[in-house]
Structure 1
Amino acid sequence: MLTVRYFAGARAAANGTSSETVSAASLDDLIQVLTDRHGERLALVLKAASFLVDGLACHDRTVPLPAGATIDVLPPFAGG
């Protein structure tokens, strides 16, 4: 099982959920599970999001995720 934590717009798109547990083998699998669970609004955020796996940026969405990992979902941030 993985712990998924949502930040900013990702949290809003996940209906206010701040964290949840999910079973997935890779980020691609995780994205599909989360889209099935929360819908298209979150799917749009996930397409542009960055992911941290146990605090480290992960750019390859096909790499196997370690069991028990914490995945942070970081949508693009706006600011000035």
Structure 2
Amino acid sequence: MLTVRYFAGARAAAGGVTSEEIAAGSLEELARVLTDRHGERLGLVMKAASFLVDGLTCHDRRAVLPAGATVDVLPPFAGG
């Protein structure tokens, strides 16, 4: 199981959920599971989001996620 934490627009797209437990082996699989659970709005955010896995940036959406990891979903931020 993974702990997924949502920030900013990702939290809004997940219906206000701040975190939840999910079973997934990769970020690619996580995006599918979360889209099925919360809808296409979150799916679109997931396509553009950056991810931290246990505090480290992860760009490889096919990399194996360690059991018990915390995944932060960080949507693109506006502003300067």
Question: Same-fold call, TM > 0.5?
Answer: yes
Q: Where do 4+ consecutive residues of structure 1 move more than 3 Å?
A: none
Rounded to whole Å, the distance in 1 between the matches of 2:46 and 2:29 is 12
Q: Share of identical aligned residues, percent?
A: 77
User: What corresponds to 1:76 in structure 2?
Assistant: 76
- The CA deviation at 1:6 is 0.1
Task: Identify unmatched segments of 5+ residues in structure 1.
Answer: none
Question: What is the number of residues matched between the two proteins?
Answer: 80
Task: Give the structure-1-normalised TM-score.
Answer: 0.99
Rounded to whole Å, the distance in 1 between the matches of 2:44 and 2:58 is 19
- The CA deviation at 1:5 is 0.1
Query: What one-letter code is carried by the residue in structure 1 that aligns with 2:59?
Result: H
Task: Identify unmatched segments of 5+ residues in structure 2.
Answer: none
Task: Give the structure-2-normalised TM-score.
Answer: 0.99
